Amino acid sequence: MLEPTRTTERYARGFAAAVAAVAALVLAANAGPAKAADPVPEPQTTAPVEAAVR
């Protein structure tokens, strides 16, 4: 049969779990896109295919 854990051990495990959860949340919050998408498209240097067909 399992022996009961001490109160100090239970609190230490709970504290370690809380620290790990906060660290995971902070890392997840900072994991965003590296660079925002450019809202203005770059001009095309070549003619589109549709213009060449006509």
CB burial class (10 A; 0-12, 13-18, 19+) of residue 6?
exposed
Mind listing the pLDDT tens digit for each residue in 1-54?
678 879 999 999 999 999 999 999 999 888 776 666 667 766 767 766 665 555
Q: Hey, what are 28's tokens?
A: 């997840």
- CA 51/CA 54 separation, integer angstroms: 6
pLDDT of residue 36: 62
- pTM of the predicted protein model: 0.51
pLDDT of residue 16: 98
